[in-house]
Amino acid sequence: MKIAGQACLILLLSLVPAAAAWWLHPDFDTPIRFGLPAGTVRLAEARSWPDPVLWIDARTETERADGLLPGAIHLHFDAWEDGFFDLVERWEPGMRIIVFCGSTGCQTSREVAQRLQSDLGDNDIWVLHRGWDALAGHHHES
């Protein structure tokens, strides 16, 4: 019993500096993205960002029949040049870019985001968690 009590005391004492470090961390106000891959953002957080934010629709033409996000630029590998030209006309350095595709399982948005990071030399490019599935029912048109 004495060993169990000592183990509990050690555990409790270790929580004090851990809590202090968590509270005093310089990036304390940065949202924590539990369970999301790096460079991925949830819709609620993305909508809270100040404008301008540039939305990139990385779905195929067939997938886009499910609906469109007004103002989003269509940029898919099948027609990269046309979409990239539209992006360059509207993009300014420092502007956040959010790329989405059909769903969580779709890797196209991540591939498009990586290519944009390479082509634009910008790291403020995000992938929308759940893709179009997250946007469905939020200001879209067919």
Beta bridge partners of 41: 128
The residue assigned the tokens 């019993």 is 1
How far apart CA 93 and CA 74 sit, in angstroms, is 19
Residue pLDDT tens, the chain, 142 long? 688 777 666 767 776 666 555 555 544 444 455 678 889 999 999 999 998 999 999 999 999 998 999 999 999 998 899 999 999 999 988 899 999 998 877 899 999 999 999 998 878 999 999 999 999 866 545 4
Q: Enumerate domains of the chain plus CATH numbers.
A: 40-135 (3.40.250.10)
Give Cβ neighbours of residue 10 (< 8 Å, ≥ 6 apart).
none
